[in-house]
Chain A
């Protein structure tokens, strides 16, 4: 289960919806926010909503501080707490075999999972399908109190070829129809997908689940954009 807190922030008119505007706006959101942004088509344009989400569960999983922190993501002051924490401070131990078993039991998947751990970041690779035709790489790090998951979907040259409409469909409009994961374009022009969870209450299951959802969504988007599997 997840708790989701959503509020509408503004309406963007059709005239404003140019590609440079979208790129600039998303670059800012990438740097300054820890929530998902999605858009709903309304009569006079696009209504932009901010959506802070997190997985929740029983008393072993969810604490009151997590809920407070969820709303805190709406007003995150820029520039604080940017230091990198060693992952060992908050990440649970990950055993590849355990993860494979969990995903098979829970999601009937037939793929394989690999993990590579460094002091300040963690890479996970999910290989989908029986014949491992597709895969996706997830990077995990610490960011402003959250365990931060990110996956690259397409590089700047691909994004460069997008129309404004397609860019919108691949980011804000898509975010409306999915959970936990937010697509947006990074300041360097790459299309990425990301997710977050409070770092200090992150359990093993929440870590794997969030990474898996992100990998699935990012890989699906990559497939829709270009046939070959790069990331």
Chain B
């Protein structure tokens, strides 16, 4: 394989994906990919360490490197090892298809098919069994696994072990396993030996967040298994096959001063020799030179008004002052804090020697909810050894709390000034200011406690919103007050579920069946089924108000008129947008008689299926328009698109008036159009109109984009915050049933509410819809990359599955792992959830940046690496803060609030202050020495020496704001490799010709098209015994063989 140059690489890849705003970053990514390709193809190196800062698109650069290698060697096999399930899903389900579709230029089947799919088969495996299955049942060019895929869960019982062994023997030749003693460790070793045998030799192993493997093989069962499977553990008596030829390690934080961490990572992939011998590690120059051969580390920069800003410069870290330090609201707060601090001080001193504690691991920093009955305090992180999985101050806090609550009965809980103030501040930022908040904690129980406080804040905010919306409507307010009253009673018994009652969608219909959950008024009243206690309470109400459940059902019932509220009237849109006239005028222009005939011949639909009838009539009308206006060939694609949405049946209305009335149905989108709000809330149809006017064909993606937007809006009104306003607008109309006129009034009230909200600060339905409208492509790219691959009829259920109903505030810890990808996806949407409280489960890999720019480190991580990883969740390519900073109007300089917000809240008059100071010192040291290597064996100190720190009178250090420079940013080769460039040009030409030719041949021979979306009926009369079959015909890549 030859090293590639920048120009040639640019023929294959476009990291900007055609987005001019991403051009600078795209160039940086291409340079990185080319530099790494050159390192991998250098036989003396054969590896790369991509250590770009967080959020610069390491995933994309890696996929770019693989794409380049694969273009010239289609059999190139890659094993991707991800740190966790959600990151694995991100790679496999989102980034890989996105990259192939958007960033690969060539469409000649080598790495991308013309339809935008990968030319290489891939598979994602959750565990060892799936990995064995993948290795033995087919060819996969890309295999994605996660670290835990190598952990083998097995008990000690002999029968179970026997079963494991029997299963293993089904897949591996007997000679490979030999005699295996029935002992757990031996069977695990046999599994590793089997996998090492069965896996093909990969050309490349990619390890994401490789710093997780900074400890030696023997340090954990996972590292040991991995070292055996990859074949670089040469333990006694074993001969493992080396299963990777080269390696690409990824981490923004490859080490913190200690080169041994780097050595261990290299050792795992058979490349330790790239570092000098340990005795030379003191020699900084030599070590740096060695690292420069395989390391690429660039720093993200934003050019704000022409000024370069490195990451530290466009983040605002609140380390002290009013946005970090907690104010005491009462003397009680002061007294409690003083008492707690006194006891903790005594505790630390009583231990004798050098009183110290591990950073972040005192329970009192986060909560005083511990009782003497509670068990040990659980902190996040699988990395914590058991001996540290409790808080030193647990008993002290429990004793004070019990004395306060149980003995003295001063209150129901011991007030925690930081918990109270942070929840209030976060809610203030998220709700009245509309700024999503990401809050990290260390103590697992803090997720629940903080979430409950935030839920209460949300309820208070929502109550005020509802009161304002119904101001002056006495009966409605009385009804709602009754609802609140029952809810407050129900809330007294709320459980500890932190997920917000979210479910992983299975069939996409959950939004209609969600049981009430008493953590917020939204989850209890608005979101799903009516609470039993509320039903009982409302029995004697004189007025039967529509319930949210009933309204919601009416929006999805095909036999109810409300189902059309959030449909798109294409006929009106075509008339107004493409012909500049009303629908009535267009009908007249087409000829009323002809239109009536067309409508009368529309597809027959099932009885009582109002939606199909509406769509069938739309389709018939659009067909007529297209027939009469051949100068706009794209028009014909609209009815074709709608065809698939129409359910066929026996019912066809013969009444002209009915048909016309259906054609003219006014929906929410019609109102948006007429009130001028469409420009702000639903502008996605503009590109489609432009394409049709320009005479383009093949508009499927354009139409699908409008449909995706419509579905997302409709979904928000069914299951998100906008449903509340839809319901409140409905209450405006009173309790009675609606006729068509009243229905239109409902939409008018709703549009007025949205129009008012649009001009206000803070989170609202309008703000959610405006953000969706402004960032539709980004939302699809980041959250719904498979949306364009869905057929129109499966789109709605698929979207429901991807974005099931959410809650205003959600929590995440080890127990919510099954929902993590969905939680992250929802958080990347403009609406709910507005606040996410998480332990370190969201520390790595998952992007949370699309609509969030604020991170609160409520519980402090012990190392700067963790802090950097956590903050990095909102500091990524295309992040909200980046978009806003790059879009600042000329002349307006960036203010503190424009930057990414990072806060470290603490009580100044507590031992926590010394912890924050120690951490901030570490952060500065880490940043300043990011590219320096320290003394062997030295790491950032995770412990706070209390006696030393308490006698230290220094202030918390300020954030470093200097422009940073990296020494590991190799220049990308620019000299053209003519041979490679010519090969790409030649390939493209011949492949294009071949595709055209084969298409023509197939069409001529069997009358079918290769790009048909379904099976086609094939007749081959030339054959003896003429045959007819219904088959899928595809043009597919084949260049994927490689040696066993």
| A→B interface (CB under 8 Å) | 1-7, 55-59, 61-64, 66-68, 71-72, 74-75, 77, 107-109, 111, 128-129, 134, 163, 165-166, 169, 173-174, 176-180, 212-213, 216-217, 219-220, 223-227
- With contacts A5-B1032, A58-B993, A178-B139 taken as known, whether A71 is within 8 angstroms of B1041 at the C-beta atoms is no
Other-chain residue from B73, B171, B1020 in contact with A108 (beta carbon distance below 8 A): B73
Q: Are B1043 and A72 in contact (CB under 8 A)?
A: no
Q: Are B1006 and A67 in contact (CB under 8 A)?
A: yes
CB of B995 within 8 Å of the partner chain: yes
Q: Which of B1005-1042 contact A (CB under 8 A)?
A: 1005-1006, 1010, 1015, 1018, 1020, 1022-1025, 1027, 1029-1038, 1040-1042
Residues of chain B lying within 8 A (CB to CB) of residue A219: 1044
Please name the residue on chain A nearest to B1002 by beta carbon.
A67
- One digit per residue, 1 when the CB lies within 8 angstroms of any chain A CB and 0 when it does not, for chain B 981-1006 equals 00000000011011101100110111
Assembled-state Cα–Cα distance A108/B71 (Å): 12
Assembled-state Cα–Cα distance A44/B1040 (Å): 32
CB of B175 within 8 Å of the partner chain: yes
Residues of chain B lying within 8 A (CB to CB) of residue A61: 994
Q: Which of A108, A134, A223 is the most central at the interface, judged by chain B CB atoms within 10 Å of its CB?
A: A108
Residues of chain B lying within 8 A (CB to CB) of residue A220: 200, 1044
Q: Are A179 and B1040 in contact (CB under 8 A)?
A: yes
- With contacts A1-B1038, A3-B1035 taken as known, whether A224 is within 8 angstroms of B136 at the C-beta atoms is yes
- With contacts A56-B994, A107-B1041, A108-B1 taken as known, whether A71 is within 8 angstroms of B1018 at the C-beta atoms is yes
- With contacts A1-B1035, A107-B1041, A213-B1041 taken as known, whether A71 is within 8 angstroms of B139 at the C-beta atoms is no
Sorted from nearest, which 8 A-B pairs have the closest CB atoms?
A177-B138, A220-B1044, A67-B1005, A7-B1031, A2-B1038, A58-B994, A75-B1027, A213-B1041
Q: Are B1006 and A173 in contact (CB under 8 A)?
A: no
Q: Are A68 and B1031 in contact (CB under 8 A)?
A: no
- List, sorted by A's number, 11 A–B pairs whose CB atoms are closer than 8 Å: A6-B1031, A56-B998, A57-B997, A59-B997, A68-B1023, A128-B1044, A177-B121, A216-B1041, A219-B1044, A220-B200, A227-B175
Q: Which of B1, B109, B175, B1033 is the most central at the interface, judged by chain A CB atoms within 10 Å of its CB?
A: B1033
Assembled-state Cα–Cα distance A164/B1009 (Å): 39
Q: Are A6 and B1010 in contact (CB under 8 A)?
A: no
Other-chain residue from A62, A74, A223 in contact with B1029 (beta carbon distance below 8 A): A74
- With contacts A4-B1033, A107-B73 taken as known, whether A178 is within 8 angstroms of B138 at the C-beta atoms is yes
CB of B176 within 8 Å of the partner chain: yes
Q: Which of B404-443 contact A (CB under 8 A)?
A: none
Residues of chain B lying within 8 A (CB to CB) of residue A5: 1018, 1031-1033
Beyond A75-B1023, A223-B1044, 13 extra complex contacts between A and B, CB < 8 Å: A3-B998, A3-B1034, A3-B1036, A55-B1038, A56-B998, A56-B1035, A57-B998, A64-B1004, A68-B1005, A109-B1043, A165-B170, A169-B137, A179-B1040
Q: Are B1044 and A227 in contact (CB under 8 A)?
A: no
CB of B173 within 8 Å of the partner chain: yes
Residues of chain A lying within 8 A (CB to CB) of residue B990: 58
Residues of chain A lying within 8 A (CB to CB) of residue B1002: 3, 67
Residues of chain A lying within 8 A (CB to CB) of residue B139: 177-179, 217
| B→A interface (CB under 8 Å) | 1, 73-75, 109, 121, 136-140, 170-171, 173, 175-176, 198, 200, 990-991, 993-995, 997-998, 1001-1002, 1004-1006, 1010, 1015, 1018, 1020, 1022-1025, 1027, 1029-1038, 1040-1044
Q: Are B1020 and A68 in contact (CB under 8 A)?
A: yes
Assembled-state Cα–Cα distance A143/B39 (Å): 49
Residues of chain B lying within 8 A (CB to CB) of residue A163: 170
Residues of chain B lying within 8 A (CB to CB) of residue A109: 1042-1043
Nearest chain A CB to B52's CB is how many angstroms away? 29
Residues of chain B lying within 8 A (CB to CB) of residue A108: 1, 73, 75, 1042
Q: Are B995 and A1 in contact (CB under 8 A)?
A: yes
Q: Are A3 and B1010 in contact (CB under 8 A)?
A: yes
Q: Which of B75, B176, B1006, B1038 is the most central at the interface, judged by chain A CB atoms within 10 Å of its CB?
A: B1038
Nearest chain B CB to A46's CB is how many angstroms away? 14
- With contacts A74-B1027, A107-B73, A180-B1038 taken as known, whether A68 is within 8 angstroms of B1006 at the C-beta atoms is yes
Residues of chain A lying within 8 A (CB to CB) of residue B1006: 67-68, 71
Nearest chain B CB to A155's CB is how many angstroms away? 15
Q: Are A107 and B1031 in contact (CB under 8 A)?
A: no
Q: Which of B171, B1004, B1023, B1030 is the most central at the interface, judged by chain A CB atoms within 10 Å of its CB?
A: B1023
Q: Which of A58, A74, A216 is the most central at the interface, judged by chain B CB atoms within 10 Å of its CB?
A: A58
Assembled-state Cα–Cα distance A140/B946 (Å): 80
Nearest chain A CB to B964's CB is how many angstroms away? 40
Q: Are A224 and B75 in contact (CB under 8 A)?
A: no
Nearest chain A CB to B814's CB is how many angstroms away? 32
Residues of chain A lying within 8 A (CB to CB) of residue B1035: 1-3, 56
Nearest chain A CB to B400's CB is how many angstroms away? 59
Q: Are A62 and B136 in contact (CB under 8 A)?
A: no
Residues of chain A lying within 8 A (CB to CB) of residue B1: 108
Residues of chain B lying within 8 A (CB to CB) of residue A7: 1015, 1029-1032
Nearest chain A CB to B1018's CB is how many angstroms away? 6
Please name the residue on chain A nearest to B73 by beta carbon.
A108
Assembled-state Cα–Cα distance A224/B1020 (Å): 41
Residues of chain B lying within 8 A (CB to CB) of residue A71: 1006, 1018, 1020, 1023, 1027, 1029, 1031
Residues of chain A lying within 8 A (CB to CB) of residue B75: 107-108
Q: Which of B73, B139, B176, B1025 is the most central at the interface, judged by chain A CB atoms within 10 Å of its CB?
A: B139
Nearest chain A CB to B424's CB is how many angstroms away? 53
Q: Which of A55, A72, A216, A224 is the most central at the interface, judged by chain B CB atoms within 10 Å of its CB?
A: A224
Assembled-state Cα–Cα distance A166/B994 (Å): 39
Assembled-state Cα–Cα distance A62/B1010 (Å): 15
Q: Which of A7, A59, A67, A166 is the most central at the interface, judged by chain B CB atoms within 10 Å of its CB?
A: A67
Residues of chain B lying within 8 A (CB to CB) of residue A226: 173, 175
Nearest chain B CB to A191's CB is how many angstroms away? 14
Nearest chain A CB to B652's CB is how many angstroms away? 34
Nearest chain A CB to B922's CB is how many angstroms away? 47
Assembled-state Cα–Cα distance A109/B1001 (Å): 33
Q: Are B1020 and A4 in contact (CB under 8 A)?
A: no
Please name the residue on chain B nearest to A214 by beta carbon.
B1041
Residues of chain A lying within 8 A (CB to CB) of residue B1036: 1-4, 179
Residues of chain A lying within 8 A (CB to CB) of residue B137: 169, 173-174, 177
Nearest chain B CB to A223's CB is how many angstroms away? 6
Residues of chain B lying within 8 A (CB to CB) of residue A176: 138
Assembled-state Cα–Cα distance A128/B26 (Å): 40
Residues of chain A lying within 8 A (CB to CB) of residue B1010: 3
Assembled-state Cα–Cα distance A214/B1027 (Å): 29
Q: Are B1031 and A62 in contact (CB under 8 A)?
A: no
Please name the residue on chain B nearest to A136 by beta carbon.
B1044
Q: Are B136 and A169 in contact (CB under 8 A)?
A: yes
Residues of chain B lying within 8 A (CB to CB) of residue A107: 73-75, 1041-1043
Q: Are B1041 and A72 in contact (CB under 8 A)?
A: no
Q: Which of A111, A169, A225 is the most central at the interface, judged by chain B CB atoms within 10 Å of its CB?
A: A169
Q: Are B994 and A1 in contact (CB under 8 A)?
A: yes
- With contacts A67-B1005, A68-B1022 taken as known, whether A4 is within 8 angstroms of B1034 at the C-beta atoms is yes
Assembled-state Cα–Cα distance A169/B995 (Å): 34
Q: Are A77 and B1001 in contact (CB under 8 A)?
A: no
Nearest chain B CB to A231's CB is how many angstroms away? 12
- With contacts A4-B1036, A7-B1015 taken as known, whether A217 is within 8 angstroms of B994 at the C-beta atoms is no
Nearest chain A CB to B925's CB is how many angstroms away? 46
Assembled-state Cα–Cα distance A58/B171 (Å): 42
Q: Are B1033 and A3 in contact (CB under 8 A)?
A: yes
Nearest chain A CB to B789's CB is how many angstroms away? 19
Q: Are A62 and B173 in contact (CB under 8 A)?
A: no
Assembled-state Cα–Cα distance A55/B1040 (Å): 13
Residues of chain A lying within 8 A (CB to CB) of residue B997: 57-59, 62
Assembled-state Cα–Cα distance A174/B170 (Å): 15
Nearest chain B CB to A205's CB is how many angstroms away? 12
Please name the residue on chain A nearest to B1021 by beta carbon.
A68
- With contacts A6-B1031, A7-B1031 taken as known, whether A57 is within 8 angstroms of B994 at the C-beta atoms is yes
